[in-house]
Structure 1
Amino acid sequence: MLTIRKISAQETITVRHPVLRKGKPIESCYFDGDNLTSTKHFGLYENGILQGVISLFDHKSHLFEDKNQSQIRGMAVLENNQGKGFGSLLVEHAEKILKAQNVSLIWFNARENAVGFYQKMEYEIIGNSFDIPDVGKHYIMWKRLRS
C-alpha cells in the first residue's frame, strides 16, 4: 500500500543521502531552510517503509514575476523503486498541496538525468544548463499551476 504523508527534514535524509549525495558526507544532505516552518517535507511510503521524499520551499526565483512561488528541492526515490511512478506521485502531491495554498508557479533545479521525467509532467526548462559543484549539470525547470 502506498501513502504520502508529511515528514520532518531529518526523515528526508535516509532517501536524500543514497540518491542525491551518494558517497558524500551526510551533512551535504541538509539544505538551507530545511527547518523553516514554511518548508514542507513529504514522504512516500510503501507498506510503511519510506521510499521517496520531496521538499517544498517558500523561495522565489528572480526569473519569474509570480508573487506566489514555491521551489521543489530534494526530490528523490530510492534507486530500487525508481521507474514505478513514485516520483510522479510525489510531484503530483506537491502540486495539489501548492494549488491549495494559491501558489501559482513551481520551479526547481533539475539534474540533467531527470529533465525527461519532469518534461513528461509538463515542466519546462528556462535558460542554459549550469553546474552545481560536486553534484553535476542542472537545468532550472518550472511549471505554472492552474486552478
Structure 2
Amino acid sequence: MNYHIQQITTKETYTVRHPILRSGKPISSCNFEGDDLETTHHFGLFINSKLVGVATFMKNNLELLHFNNQYQLRGMAILNEFQGKKLGNYLVKYGEDFLKNERIEVIWCNAREIAVNFYQRNGFYIIGNAFIIPEIGLHYRMYKLCES
C-alpha cells in the first residue's frame, strides 16, 4: 500500500479523531489539552492524499516512570476502512524515529482495552492497574523504552 506520513496541524487530526475516538460527541471534544504546545507533534498518514491515520506525541512525564525525558502518545486513530493493514505500526515507528533526535527515554500512552494488543505488538508494556476514563472506558497505561 502506497502511503506517506508528515506533520499536520491539530485541527487536521480532527477528521480522523472525531469518527474513531469521539464518535457522537461534539467536534470540540477532539481538541486535547496540550495539543497546541510547541513540543507537541501531530503526524498524519496519507493514502492517495487522503488523511487516514493520526498520532500525537506530547512531551509529558508519567510519575510511574522514573525517566526525565518522556513523551505521551495520544489521539492515535486509523479510519475504520483502513484498520488491520498495519498502518498504525508505521505511524508509531515514524513518531519514534522523529523523537530520537530529541533524545527521549520513554514513550507512554493510555491505551483503550481494545488497543492493548496493538501496542504490545509495537513493543509497549503495561504498567500499573487498569483504570476508567469517564465516557470512554477501560484503559491501561503502557510504555516503551526508546533506543538512543
TM range, normalised to the smaller chain?
over 0.9
2: distance between equivalents of 1:139 and 1:99?
24
How far the C-alpha of 1:39 sits from its partner, in A, is: 0.6
Please show how residues 29-108 of structure 1 align to structure 2 within 5 Å. Answer: 29-108=30-109
**2:13 alignment partner in structure 1:** 12
How far off its partner does 1:64 sit?
1.0
Identity of aligned residues (%): 49
Post-superposition CA distance 1:35-77 (Å, at most 9, x none): 1111110000001100000001011111111111000110000
Deviation at residue 28 of structure 1 after TM alignment: 1.1
Secondary structure of the residue aligned to 2:140 is strand
What SS class does the counterpart of residue 32 from structure 2 fall into? Answer: coil
Shift of 1:121: 1.1
Any idea what SS the aligned residue of 1:96 has?
A: helix
Counterpart of 2:144 in structure 1 is 143
State the aligned residue count: 147
Q: Are positions 1:113 and 2:114 aligned together?
A: yes
CA RMSD across the alignment: 0.7
* 1:75-115 Cα distance to aligned partner (Å, 9 max, x none): 00001000001100000001111112100100010000000
Superposition TM-score, scaled by structure 2 size:
0.97
| Counterpart AA for 2:82 | N
Measured in 2, the distance between the counterparts of 1:99 and 1:142 equals 16
